[in-house]
C-alpha cells in the first residue's frame, strides 16, 4: 500500500545536486511541475502517462500534504511531491539535461510593480531551467495575468536556447492528459482569459 511518505521527497541539502531517477523504482521521462497546488495536474498526468516520472513542487505546506495524500490514495507510484523553493531548486539543485517537460501553470503574478522582481519567470531562472532541460525538452507556461504573460513572452523569446512552439505541438491534450489546473477551472468559470506559451529546448 502506498503511503503519503512514499510520495513525499525531502528537499536537497545546501550544495546537493539531486538524481531525479533515484526517487522512483524505475527510470522514465522526467517531468517537473512548479507550483503543483493540490495536485490536480499531477493526478491527471500521472494516471494518463504511467511511463512518465513526475515531480511536483509546492511551497504551501497544506497543499503539499494534500497533494501527497491524493497521489497515495490513487496509488500513483510514478509521482513524487516536494516542499521547497522551486526557484532555488531549479537554479542550484538540478543536474544538467535531466528534464523532459517543465510545467509552470499560474505562477504568482506579483501584480504590484514593486513586487515584479519576485516573479519566477525572469532571465536567471530561465537560464537555469534551460540548462536542466534535455535537447528537445519542452517548457509550458500558463497564466491568467496579461501583464505577466507579456514578461514571460519577452524572457522566453530572449533566450537563444528556446524556440517557441504551438501549445498542441508541446504535447498538450486536454481531454486525455488533464482537465485543467484548479486555477484554470476556476478562472474559466469566471470567464477570464488564459494565456499560454510553449517553448522547446534547442
Structural domain span for residue 61:
25-201
pLDDT over threshold 80, residue 181: no
By CB atoms closer than 10 A (0-12, 13-18, 19+), residue 1 is exposed
Residue 15 lies in a domain: no
pLDDT at 172 over 80: no
Residue 109 is assigned to a structural domain of this protein: yes
Element (H, E) at 90: helix 86-92
Does residue 190 lie within any of the structural domains? yes
Active-site residues, by number, are: 108
Measured CA to CA, the distance from residue 68 to residue 52 in angstroms comes to: 17
Tell whether the torsion through CA atoms of 18, 19, 23 and 29 is positive or negative: positive
Q: What secondary structure, in 3-state letters, does 174-196 show?
A: HHHHCCCCHHHHHHHHCCCCCEE
Determine the pLDDT at residue 171: 76
Average pLDDT, integer, range 114-120: 97
Q: What pLDDT shows up at residue 64?
A: 98
Residues of the chain with pLDDT > 90, as a percent, come to 85
Query: Is 73 within the bounds of a domain?
Result: yes
Q: Does the pLDDT of residue 114 top 80, yes or no?
A: yes
Q: What pLDDT sits at residue 174?
A: 57
Which domain CATH number covers 148? Answer: 3.40.50.150
Looking at the domain assignment, is residue 106 inside a domain?
Answer: yes
The yes-or-no verdict on residue 173 having pLDDT over 70 is no
Within-domain flag for 150: yes
For 24-44, the pLDDT digits (tens) are 999 999 999 999 999 999 999
pLDDT band at 175 (very low <50, low <70, confident <90, very high): low
Number of domains the chain is built from: 1
Q: Is residue 42 part of a domain?
A: yes
Contacts of residue 145, Cβ cutoff 8 Å, sequence gap at least 6: 109, 111, 195
pTM higher than 0.85 for the full model?
yes
> Residue 101's pLDDT is what?
97
What is the rounded CA–CA span in Å between residue 187 and residue 142?
12
Q: What is the model's pLDDT at position 108?
A: 94
**164-189: average pLDDT:** 72
Mind listing the pLDDT tens digit for each residue in 41-97? Answer: 999 999 989 999 999 999 999 999 999 999 999 999 999 999 999 999 999 999 999
pLDDT of residue 169: 86
With respect to residue 93, please indicate whether it lies within any of the assigned structural domains: yes
Amino acid at each position: 500500500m502506498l503511503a503519503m511518505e512514499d510520495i513525499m521527497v525531502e528537499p536537497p541539502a545546501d550544495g546537493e545536486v539531486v538524481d531525479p531517477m533515484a526517487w522512483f523504482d524505475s527510470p522514465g521521462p522526467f517531468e517537473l511541475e512548479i507550483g503543483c497546488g493540490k495536485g490536480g495536474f499531477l493526478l491527471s498526468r500521472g494516471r494518463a502517462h504511467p511511463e512518465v516520472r513526475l515531480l511536483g513542487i509546492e511551497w504551501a505546506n497544506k497543499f503539499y500534504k494534500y497533494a501527497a495524500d491524493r497521489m497515495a490514495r490513487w496509488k500513483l507510484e510514478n509521482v513524487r511531491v516536494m516542499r521547497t523553493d522551486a526557484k532555488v531548486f531549479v537554479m542550484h539543485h538540478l543536474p544538467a539535461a535531466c528534464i523532459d517537460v517543465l510545467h509552470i501553470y499560474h505562477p504568482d503574478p506579483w501584480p504590484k510593480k514593486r513586487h515584479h522582481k519576485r516573479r519566477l519567470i525572469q532571465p536567471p531562472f530561465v537560464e537555469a531551467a534551460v540548462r536542466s532541460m534535455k535537447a528537445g525538452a519542452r517548457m509550458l507556461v500558463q497564466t491568467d495575468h496579461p501583464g505577466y504573460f507579456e514578461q514571460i513572452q519577452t524572457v522566453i523569446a530572449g533566450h537563444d536556447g528556446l524556440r517557441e512552439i504551438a501549445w498542441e505541438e508541446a504535447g498538450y491534450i486536454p481531454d486525455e492528459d488533464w482537465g485543467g489546473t484548479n486555477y484554470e477551472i476556476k478562472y474559466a468559470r469566471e470567464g477570464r482569459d488564459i494565456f499560454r506559451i510553449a517553448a522547446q529546448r534547442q
